[in-house]
Chains A and B, each alone.
Chain A
């Protein structure tokens, strides 16, 4: 199971990097979103999969899964949610101000 997840992480990362390298700003943002999902899966896989039940009171199981990676992922999700939201708004503002979403055209001009 871990192996499959790791492959999935690899594929997601590849997709994300392809998107990050494109010129369109919205694709770059989608790339960052996928990138963070890839690493969340990686953290999950690192905690070990399929050992025991959910770490909740009253389950009375012999073994529980490690709860820490899940807590880490929740925190990371919240943060990436906030950052993605911010960059979406920023991209929209930039598109309004600069009139383009092409990163090539956004490159610095010296005479400013």
Chain B
């Protein structure tokens, strides 16, 4: 089914960008404030779902040539391996650490290993949500 809704297309082109930005913001702010990988991932996934709604799935698949099943698997892999990493340093599973670094543009920045875990969670959520939506809506 081809949809050709000019208003929807125009609005969602801008909307997707805003949603993506908001998702990344939520993801990053999750360290000390409300937010985090799960919520960020959900918001990011809604952007993809909006794209799938506005344009047909062939167009979107051409623009984003990823297999979302593999993305969620990658997310779980990232989350688990970042949790397992401390085991090689004699620390318990899921231990975290953080440090302050002087980065060129950002200045003094706190970098924490938990962000790796969180990005795994976010990837998983994105993959799973998009997967579910597409698998229900795929065949008419």
Q: Give the interface of A toward B (CB within 8 A).
A: 54, 56-58, 74, 78, 82, 85, 88-89, 92
Whether A92 and B136, one on each chain, are in contact in the complex, defined by CB atoms closer than 8 angstroms, is yes
- Does B97 touch A at the CB level, under 8 Å? no
Q: What 0/1 pattern do residues 101 to 140 of B give for CB contact below 8 A with A?
A: 0000000000000000000000000001000100110000
- Does B32 touch A at the CB level, under 8 Å? yes
Q: Name the prevailing secondary structure of the B interface residues.
A: helix
Residues on the A chain within 8 Å of B32, using CB: 56-58
Whether B135 and A74, one on each chain, are in contact in the complex, defined by CB atoms closer than 8 angstroms, is no
Known contacts A74-B38, A82-B128; is-contact A89 B33 (Cβ 8 Å): no
Known contacts A57-B32, A58-B32, A82-B128; is-contact A89 B38 (Cβ 8 Å): no
Number of A-B contacts (CB under 8 A): 17
Q: Name the prevailing secondary structure of the A interface residues.
A: helix
By size class, the interface of chain B is: under 10
Residues on the B chain within 8 Å of A58, using CB: 32
Residues on the B chain within 8 Å of A78, using CB: 38
Task: A9 to B135: give the CA distance in the assembly, Å.
Answer: 33
Whether A88 and B136, one on each chain, are in contact in the complex, defined by CB atoms closer than 8 angstroms, is yes
Residues on the B chain within 8 Å of A82, using CB: 128
Task: A58 to B32: give the CA distance in the assembly, Å.
Answer: 9
Task: A74 to B38: give the CA distance in the assembly, Å.
Answer: 9
Whether B33 and A88, one on each chain, are in contact in the complex, defined by CB atoms closer than 8 angstroms, is no
Known contacts A58-B32, A74-B38; is-contact A89 B135 (Cβ 8 Å): yes
